[in-house]
């Protein structure tokens, strides 16, 4: 609707003698007390605004309340922007019902009961007195009723205009936003997206002296690795060509024992505390980027709205990093991009349930997916895992809300089967405890860089000169699982993962830096799942810790750009040696400005090796001359293991008795003296009680036997004592010959005793 000018309003008053309509606009997200309603910001680009969601898992949530000021006495028509969220599938009855209370009066209309799409629902007219009064959203079901905004007007005959454009003219006018929004910056680097990639980029750049803005549309950091989504962080870090990369991620990464994990395991507070500890970072939580300003082929600024108030801020910068996952910043800037048309992976909404000491009830869900127990994999260990995934080849951008809602229908339908259908007898005490309303998407847009990494590059181990971030996850692509897809072939909700295990999961494949900047938007970096790779290559780089390491590299590259007044491509072409040098510094190293000297603090992490930090006892911390099983020369059939804890390094080897297998360790003696020969092994009843151990030093040879079935102090059996001279190179051989059980080759050491 085109709004009248002031002169038009004056003419209307003169010609008709009537006063203009009084009206009042209320954004649901701005309610003073949201009660049990959740703030949903996932679909702003799709439907125009944040909104409140009554996500009560089948139990009505507490009212959301606020105080409004009625501008004048009169009869007001009440409009509520909402939808019937299952109507698009012809499902009924509407699950997301809610009422509106103004003052003491509850409107007769039940909202959330009409409209396949977001639209204005007429709540009828109500007489209101001028002044302050209360306003409340009253959930009726606990099944995801949703409210964007309310519009009260004394114009009883005119419908409000569509409001599906982000901060469109009508909404701007109603919010009273200034013509010139608040300006922030300029920053050296503006990072949009506060998941692992965005956090890595922001912290890394800030510690290298850059002034950084970090924009995140949620109240917490971590993205899929937050308490809101609860996907445990995967991908090995601190290894490969640059084992310092990943140290920043190690500071805040979760230690969840399963996925989905518990709220506490994801450490939302820790993530925020680490970011806020950086004086160079301006953290902007609850801000949704929605547009960019361009100057030729460069981004000048990002516009973001406060998801709680609707206020707008324009964030200016020299460099920008798209960590949005969907590639929003690159899309608005006109970056070259790609999105696989068929075979795309979907979105997951994981869930958890528990059991009480007494029987519980769960409402019937006729509007959910029509499921019996055979229609879904049983949620063992009380949780629905990553494979509760849908939206394959659906519009991951324009129809994201429907994908999420389909997942909700699947979860509620499954739990209904457990409680009210053929699973009822076995689940009398079952209770639904958590369902992620924030979706975990896997694939959408990818922004193209100077290198588009392919599966062939990875499998053939193509060695790019700028290879830097180790990708250790297998090429993991998801498809609908056939046995569960038959009932809902248009949108299956259970997936299967197919793994190409050609990736080196220990050392990792070094992803090139040239995948981390746009090939046609000159000051745009990207990190996360929207980097420059093919669909197949995305299968290995998309896991969170790997994405976080991309951010670390981008942050270091941004500091070079700031110091040298250059662009991301120039870092590769003219300053690659500088980037390599920075990647060898600890994650906690810092400098005041991009041109200051770098200071390494005393609490910097110990340098890991090319295969990462040891998962067991660090050989460097063992007293003496140590050789791990990874350093041994092996012959015969040895197997690798990590099941017996207390091992040295990354694991151990074991071989059966009488198989002629040997493990030969070499140790160089640096000073003369008497040494104990230690043989490390974890005890087990199937281990040999007389493992043959031979020490050779030139022509000198001595044979020992050790009992590997019993516990030794420090897991190290003392085989014997020997005198050695400086410069001696000693060989220690473990053999399966004449052993009476499994031989365990973990590590050996020479420890000086005088």
All residues at 6 or more sequence positions from 359 whose CB lies less than 8 Å from its CB, including other chains: 428, 429
**Residue positions counted in the chain:** 754
Nearest to 525 by CA among 301, 315, 291, 320: 320
Per-residue model confidence (pLDDT) at position 1: 29
Contact at 8 Å (CB) between 429 and 342? no
Which range, of 10-19, 99-108, 662-671, 676-685, averages the lowest pLDDT? 10-19
Contact at 8 Å (CB) between 51 and 40? yes
Contact at 8 Å (CB) between 164 and 47? yes
Is omega for the bond preceding 145 within 30 degrees of 0, making it cis? no
Per-residue model confidence (pLDDT) at position 179: 86
Per-residue model confidence (pLDDT) at position 737: 94
Task: Provide the token pair at 395.
Answer: 């519009």
User: Longest Cα pair distance anywhere in the chain, in angstroms?
Assistant: 118
Write out pLDDT tens, residues 404-445.
999 999 999 999 999 999 999 999 999 999 999 999 999 999
Per-residue model confidence (pLDDT) at position 627: 97
Q: pLDDT band for position 10 (50/70/90)?
A: very low
Nearest to 655 by CA among 687, 680, 682, 630: 687
pLDDT beyond 70 at 8: no
Q: Per-residue pLDDT averaged across 161-170, rounded?
A: 95
What's the CA gap between 70 and 708, in Å, rounded? Answer: 82
Per-residue model confidence (pLDDT) at position 754: 77
pLDDT beyond 70 at 649: yes
Task: Using DSSP bridges, classify how beta strands 524-526 and 312-322 pair: parallel, antiparallel or unpaired.
Answer: parallel
Contact at 8 Å (CB) between 206 and 212? yes
Contact at 8 Å (CB) between 204 and 340? no
Which range, of 30-39, 169-178, 285-294, averages the lowest pLDDT? 169-178
List the beta bridge partners of residue 98: 111, 139
The values of phi and psi at residue 596, to 5°, are -80, 165
Contact at 8 Å (CB) between 514 and 449? yes
The predicted model scores a pTM of 0.92
Per-residue model confidence (pLDDT) at position 19: 60
All residues at 6 or more sequence positions from 402 whose CB lies less than 8 Å from its CB, including other chains: 88, 394
What Å distances lie between residue 605 and 27, 238, 254, 471, 589, CA to CA? 47, 10, 18, 21, 10
pLDDT beyond 60 at 12: no
Write out pLDDT tens, residues 549-575.
999 999 999 999 999 999 999 999 999
pLDDT beyond 50 at 14: no
The values of phi and psi at residue 465, to 5°, are -65, -25
What Å distances lie between residue 363 and 417, 421, 431, CA to CA? 11, 12, 11
Task: Using DSSP bridges, classify how beta strands 23-27 and 149-153 pair: parallel, antiparallel or unpaired.
Answer: antiparallel
The values of phi and psi at residue 651, to 5°, are 155, -155
Per-residue model confidence (pLDDT) at position 20: 80
409: helix, coil or strand?
Answer: helix
pLDDT beyond 90 at 13: no
pLDDT beyond 90 at 697: yes
Per-residue model confidence (pLDDT) at position 18: 52
Handedness of CA 464, 468, 472, 475 (dihedral sign): negative
Write out pLDDT tens, residues 109-153.
999 999 999 999 999 999 999 999 999 999 999 999 999 999 999
Q: Per-residue pLDDT averaged across 488-499, rounded?
A: 97
Mean pLDDT of the chain: 95
Helix (H) or strand (E) holding 539: helix 535-541
Write out pLDDT tens, residues 352-372.
999 999 999 999 999 999 999
pLDDT beyond 90 at 4: no
Write out pLDDT tens, residues 225-241.
999 999 999 999 999 99
pLDDT beyond 80 at 9: no
Per-residue model confidence (pLDDT) at position 64: 98
Q: Per-residue pLDDT averaged across 341-359, rounded?
A: 97
Task: Provide the token pair at 538.
Answer: 């995305």
Dihedral (Cα; 272, 273, 274, 278), 10-degree rounding:
100
pLDDT beyond 70 at 178: yes
pLDDT beyond 80 at 16: no
pLDDT beyond 50 at 17: no
Per-residue model confidence (pLDDT) at position 134: 98
């Amino acid at each position: 609707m085109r709004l009248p000018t002031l002169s038009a309003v004056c003419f209307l008053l003169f010609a008709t003698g009537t006063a203009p309509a009084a009206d009042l606009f209320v954004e649901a997200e701005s309610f003073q007390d949201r009660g049990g309603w959740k703030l949903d910001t996932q679909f702003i680009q799709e439907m125009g605004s944040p909104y409140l969601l009554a996500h009560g898992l089948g139990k009505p949530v507490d009212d959301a309340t606020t105080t409004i000021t009625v501008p004048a006495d009169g009869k007001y028509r009440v409009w509520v922007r909402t939808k019937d969220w299952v109507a698009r599938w012809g499902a009924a009855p509407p699950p997301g019902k809610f009422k509106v209370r103004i003052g003491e009066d509850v409107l007769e209309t039940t909202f959330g009961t009409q409209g396949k799409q977001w639209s204005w629902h007429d709540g009828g007219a109500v007489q209101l007195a001028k002044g302050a009064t209360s306003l409340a959203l009253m959930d009726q079901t606990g099944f995801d009723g949703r409210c964007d905004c309310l519009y009260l007007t004394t114009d009883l005959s005119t419908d409000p205009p569509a409001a599906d454009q982000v901060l469109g003219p009508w909404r701007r006018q109603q919010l009273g936003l200034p013509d010139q929004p608040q300006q922030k910056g300029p920053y050296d680097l503006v990072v949009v997206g506060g998941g692992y990639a965005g956090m890595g980029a922001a912290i890394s750049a800030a510690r290298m002296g850059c002034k950084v803005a970090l924009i995140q549309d949620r109240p917490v950091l971590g993205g899929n690795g937050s308490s809101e989504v609860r996907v445990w962080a995967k991908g090995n870090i601190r290894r490969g060509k640059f084992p310092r990369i990943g140290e920043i991620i190690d500071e805040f990464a979760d230690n969840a024992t399963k996925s989905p994990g518990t709220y506490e395991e994801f450490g939302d507070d820790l993530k925020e505390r680490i970011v806020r500890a950086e004086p160079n970072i301006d953290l902007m939580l609850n801000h949704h980027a929605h547009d960019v300003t361009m100057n030729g082929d460069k981004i000048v600024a990002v516009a973001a709205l406060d998801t709680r108030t609707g206020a707008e801020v324009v964030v200016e910068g020299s460099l920008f990093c798209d960590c949005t996952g969907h590639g929003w910043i690159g899309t608005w800037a006109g970056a070259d991009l790609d999105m696989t048309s068929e075979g795309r992976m979907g979105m997951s909404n994981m869930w958890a349930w528990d059991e009480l000491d007494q029987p519980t009830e769960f409402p019937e869900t006729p509007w959910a997916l029509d499921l019996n127990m055979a229609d879904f994999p049983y949620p063992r260990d009380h949780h629905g895992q990553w494979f509760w995934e849908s939206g394959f080849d659906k519009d991951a951008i324009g129809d994201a809300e429907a994908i999420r809602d389909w997942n909700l229908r699947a979860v509620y339908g499954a739990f209904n089967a457990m409680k009210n259908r053929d699973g009822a007898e076995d689940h009398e005490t079952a209770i639904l405890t958590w369902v992620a309303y924030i979706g975990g998407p896997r694939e959408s847009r990818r922004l193209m860089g100077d290198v588009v990494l392919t599966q062939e590059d990875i499998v053939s181990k193509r060695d790019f000169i700028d290879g830097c971030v180790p990708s250790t996850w297998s090429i993991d692509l998801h498809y609908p699982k056939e046995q569960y897809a038959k009932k809902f072939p248009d949108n299956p909700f259970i997936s299967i993962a197919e793994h190409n295990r050609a990736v080196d999961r220990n050392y990792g494949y070094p992803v090139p830096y040239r995948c981390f900047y746009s090939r046609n938007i000159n000051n745009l970096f990207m990190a996360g799942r929207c980097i420059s790779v093919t669909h197949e290559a995305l299968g290995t780089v998309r896991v969170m810790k790997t994405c976080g390491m991309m951010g670390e590299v981008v942050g270091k590259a941004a500091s070079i750009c700031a110091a040298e007044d250059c662009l991301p491509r120039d870092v590769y072409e003219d300053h690659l040696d500088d980037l390599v040098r920075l990647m060898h510094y600890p994650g906690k190293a810092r400098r005041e400005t991009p041109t200051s000297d770098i200071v390494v603090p005393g609490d910097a992490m110990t340098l890991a090796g090319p295969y990462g930090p040891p998962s067991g006892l660090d050989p460097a911390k063992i007293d003496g001359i140590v050789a791990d099983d990874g350093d041994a020369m092996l012959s015969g059939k040895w197997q690798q293991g990590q099941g017996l804890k207390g091992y040295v390094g990354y694991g151990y080897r074991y071989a059966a008795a009488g198989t002629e297998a040997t493990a030969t360790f070499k140790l160089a003696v640096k000073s003369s003296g008497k040494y104990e020969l230690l043989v490390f092994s974890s005890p087990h009843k199937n281990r040999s009680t007389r493992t043959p151990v031979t020490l050779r030093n030139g022509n000198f040879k001595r044979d020992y036997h050790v009992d590997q079935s019993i516990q030794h102090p420090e897991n190290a059996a003392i085989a014997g004592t020997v005198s050695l001279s400086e410069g001696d190179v000693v060989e220690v051989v473990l053999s399966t010959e004449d052993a009476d059980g499994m031989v365990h080759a973990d590590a050996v050491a020479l420890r000086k005793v005088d």
